Amino acid sequence: SKLTKGTLAQKPYDGATPPLSTSKVFPSIPEPVIVKDKMEPIKGFQKTMVKTMSQSLAIPHFGYCDEVCVTELVMLRSILKKKAGERGVRFSFMPFFIKAASLALNQFPVLNSSVDEKCENIIYKSAHNIGVAMDTQQGLIVPNIKNVQNLSLLQVATELNRLQELGEKGQLGSSDLTGGTFTLSNVGVIGGTYAKPVIVPPEVAIGAVGKIQAVPRFDEQDNVVKSHVLQVSWSADHRVIDGATMSRFSNLWKSYLEDPTSMLLDMK
Ligand code: CAO
């Protein structure tokens, strides 16, 4: 058989595998974005990123990763997504990740703290102002949801919707962009599993979640079952947070997400 440009070659049908479609057209080769060297100034949000990320270089980062089975959460989210939708709210997985973080911060307040410049004092913050890394047209921004400890899941979702809409329009104000105490980054919405998140100073911890994927895992009877798995990567300031604390916090956060009804017991 002869290869025709832009179409799949026709193979003789062997009776076992489905025949290849002859009508399928190869995707065209994407044009490169840059064809000639160009220089542009670093400005706006990118300039802020240069400053913040350079400051965070002074922080000795400790990394800790784990895998979370979110099979039950995936089911619960599909129910709540519909119910929240009836109330006009987009309900992703983020409200669970954010609220579970706040519940776990109640038990591990050092992760919701900041240190002063010379690292002589720790300031424990009573408000859980949880920052969410956002990928916008203007670049990376980290607005935060204020007082997550007092909010319901629906209120967290509503606030996230508001921040996302303003972020997309480039209209976030300084009150939304300042005062964060802890950050979560959902890089999994784009793809990937593990990351190495960089702490947003003066905060002391950040978590990055990967893409929820259906994978085979063993159940308690050693049967292979389909599970939905999420990877999480934490970074913490090792000057004030040790590995054991990070690990215990992560275990608690993970337990809320693996058994999402347990969150109800601790929610106000
Ligand atoms: N795994 C699988 N599906 C995911 C997912 C994940 N980790 N995260 C989100 N999704 C799904 C959502 O549930 C939603 O699907 P539905 O339509 O079924 O609800 C869809 O993907 C789109 O989600 P979203 O982006 O609208 O909303 P979100 O609340 O999950 O995330 C935000 C919001 C702002 C975190 C995200 O849009 C974003 O910008 N992420 C990038 C963060 C980033 O750049 N991090 C790197 C920082 S360091 O440079």
Give DSSP secondary structure letters for 28-61. PPPPPS-SS-------THHHHHHHHHHHHTTS-E
Give DSSP secondary structure letters for 162-190. HHHHHHHHT---HHHHS---EEEEEGGGT
Which value does ipTM take for this structure?
0.96
Residue with tokens 């990070």: 246
Verify cis geometry, omega within 30 degrees of 0, for the bond prior to 260.
no
Q: Please tell me the predicted confidence (pLDDT) of residue 27.
A: 73
Quickly state the pLDDT bin for 138 (edges 50, 70, 90): confident
Q: How many residues does the chain have?
A: 268
**Cβ partners under 8 Å of residue 13, min gap 6:** 19
Q: Please tell me the predicted confidence (pLDDT) of residue 20.
A: 54
Q: Which two tokens stand for residue 33?
A: 């974005």
**Is 189 close to ligand 1, i.e. is its CB under 6 Å away?**
yes
Question: For this structure, is 242 an active site residue?
Answer: yes
How many other C-beta atoms are found inside a 10 Å radius of the C-beta of residue 132?
23
How many other C-beta atoms are found inside a 10 Å radius of the C-beta of residue 13?
10
Q: Which two tokens stand for residue 228?
A: 């939905």
What is the CATH code of the structural domain delimited by 62-266? 3.30.559.10
Q: Which atom of ligand 1 is nearest to the CA of 197?
A: 48
Which of these, 60, 54, 50, lies nearest to 205 by C-alpha position? 60
Which of these, 118, 107, 183, lies nearest to 145 by C-alpha position? 183
Q: Please tell me the predicted confidence (pLDDT) of residue 29.
A: 86
pLDDT in tens, 33-91: 999 999 999 998 899 999 999 999 999 999 999 999 999 999 999 999 999 999 999 99
Give residue 37's Cα distance to chain centre: 34
pLDDT in tens, 227-264: 999 999 999 999 999 999 999 999 999 999 999 999 99
**Closest residue CA from atom 45 of ligand 1:** 187
Burial level of 35, CB count in 10 A (0-12/13-18/19+)?
Answer: exposed
Q: Where are the domains of the chain?
A: 62-266
**Is 94 close to ligand 1, i.e. is its CB under 6 Å away?**
yes
Give the distance (Å) from ligand 1 centre to CA of residue 89.
15
Give the distance (Å) from ligand 1 centre to CA of residue 189.
4
Which of these, 176, 179, 151, lies nearest to 165 by C-alpha position? 176
**Is 188 close to ligand 1, i.e. is its CB under 6 Å away?**
yes
**Is 102 close to ligand 1, i.e. is its CB under 6 Å away?**
no
Helix (H, G, I), strand (E, B) or coil at 264: helix
Give DSSP secondary structure letters for 87-134. TT----SHHHHHHHHHHHHHH-GGGGEEE-TTS--EEE-SS--EEE-E
**Is 133 close to ligand 1, i.e. is its CB under 6 Å away?**
yes
Among the ranges given (17-26, 99-108, 146-155, 178-187), the one the predictor scored with the smallest mean pLDDT: 17-26
Q: Which atom of ligand 1 is nearest to the CA of 188?
A: 7
Best probe residue, ligand 1, of 96, 189, 213, 228 (max atoms within 8 Å of C-beta):
189
More confident residue, 1 or 114: 114
Best probe residue, ligand 1, of 74, 136, 186, 229 (max atoms within 8 Å of C-beta):
186
Question: For this structure, is 238 an active site residue?
Answer: yes
Give the distance (Å) from ligand 1 centre to CA of residue 165.
13
**Is 134 close to ligand 1, i.e. is its CB under 6 Å away?**
yes
Q: Identify the active-site residue in 176, 238, 259, 266.
A: 238
Best probe residue, ligand 1, of 92, 162, 183, 235 (max atoms within 8 Å of C-beta):
92
